[in-house]
Amino acid sequence: MPQYKVAIVGAGPAGYFAAQALQNLQTDELKFSIDMIERLPTPWGLVRSGVAPDHPKIKTVAKVFEKIATSDGFSLYGNVELGTDISLEVLKTKYDAVVIATGSAVGRKLGIPGEDLPGSISAAEFVPWYNGHPDFAGHTPNLDCDTAVVIGAGNVAMDVARMLALEPSELDPTDTADHAIDALRNSSIRKVVISARRGPEHAAFTSPELRDLPKLEHTNVVMRASDIAAALERAGEEPEKEVRNNLEAMRLISELEQGKHARTMEFQFLSTPKEFRGNGKVEEVVFTTSAGEEKIVKCGLVITAIGYEAAALEGLPYERGKVLNQDGRVFENLYVVGWAKRGPSGVIGTNKSDAADVMSLLIADLKEPKPRIEFSSLITADKVISQSHWESINAAEVAAGEPHGKPRIKAVSREELLRLGGL
């Protein structure tokens, strides 16, 4: 009975769904041994370090990941970096197939003057900071100002704005990193402006996210009724279902009573950012409106949430922030799934069907299985996180959170994570 060895690089949703697809496609005649390689000491990718902490239901998909990880033939190798501890060429040589599932973690740039001023950061830095990602725990976003501007019209922009505009005590029952809760508790920000280049009918927010906004207990949510009415008119009599649902949710927001709270989240549409200005730091953003007029918003923090690109890995071809591929195939026995394949689009579940399609191609391409190898003999890393090490980390974080009514308290340094894992 042939058993094929497949290496999956990246322990986020795309990687786990690729592993699940291979497990589901096994037969009595076709078996897979799966080695999942992850740069961090912790798996789960954006489910751990990207999903907003005040949306815990989305994180329950981790239970699916754990079932995949504890199935026969699956091994996790965390704290192992492709290009440093092992090369892509070695993986291609030793494995029957290699699947790249490294996601998109680099924030796109606007390409306008002043974008590099202190006080201007990307959501690709801010989101992992409040989620306890080890690479970003030391960041210090400027919260010592009364107004912040978030540029973008998707759920990431909304998550960022909501985290800035919430009363920090609302984060106490979440797994927000302790350092972020402390910083947000001391924040001076009381107004957050979400600015979108196009109109409400083109916004990429999802309607469940929009419908949650009126539930904020300590924050005014402001949308201008005139903006929504104009968008409804532009959308026509029969807009697509998603657009219709979004605009209905926005209409309800525009009718909310305003001014009840000290904190405000305000939506600004049809405004194109042209320049960030300030003396040694961001002090204002200059926008051009759809009427061609200049609009200035004074602020001390700007966070851009305009999309992500995949970080380049040696040996992989890239174009427009994605790995060049044909339906998921890159080269012989090399495949790509998830955001690294198609760009930062869709929700977590989108990766499931995407991975299943690519794994079907992988199986169709298989040749004679290569000789069995031990992963440990291929790498230079000396402290490697196995599934059992990760389970120790997970249990310790959950236990630390229980007395405080939190799902977990995250360890945020590599050293602490390795210590909790027993390494």
Which pLDDT does position 1 carry in this prediction?
Answer: 62
State in Å, rounded, how far the first CA of the chain is from the last one: 36
* Three-state SS at 342: helix
- Residue-wise pLDDT for 344-373, tens only, equals 887 788 889 999 999 999 999 999 999 988
d(CA 287, CA 292): 9
Mean pLDDT across the stretch 317-325?
A: 92
pLDDT band at 57 (very low <50, low <70, confident <90, very high): confident
* pLDDT, greater one: 374 or 272: 272
C-alpha distances (whole Å) from 46 to each of 11, 14, 128, 417 are 9, 10, 9, 17
pLDDT band at 240 (very low <50, low <70, confident <90, very high): confident
Neighbours of 208 (CB within 10 A): 12
Which pLDDT does position 81 carry in this prediction?
Answer: 95
Question: 371, 354, 351, 374: which is closest to 362 by C-alpha?
Answer: 354
C-alpha distances (whole Å) from 363 to each of 94, 146, 267, 357 are 17, 55, 47, 10
Mean pLDDT across the stretch 292-315?
A: 94
Is residue 258 within 8 Å of residue 213, measured between CB atoms?
no
Which pLDDT does position 10 carry in this prediction?
Answer: 97
Which pLDDT does position 99 carry in this prediction?
Answer: 98
pTM for this entry: 0.94
| Domains of the chain in sequence order | 3-105+309-385 (3.40.50.720), 109-306 (3.50.50.60)
The residue type found at 392 is S
C-alpha distances (whole Å) from 41 to each of 50, 90, 112, 155 are 16, 22, 36, 27
d(CA 299, CA 277): 10
- Across the chain, what does the average pLDDT equal? 94
d(CA 235, CA 202): 9
Handedness of CA 182, 281, 162, 394 (dihedral sign): negative
Which pLDDT does position 346 carry in this prediction?
Answer: 77
* pLDDT, greater one: 56 or 187: 187
CA angle 355, 10, 306 (to 5 degrees): 80
Which pLDDT does position 55 carry in this prediction?
Answer: 85
- Residue-wise pLDDT for 111-166, tens only, equals 999 999 999 999 999 999 999 999 999 999 999 999 999 999 999 999 999 999 99
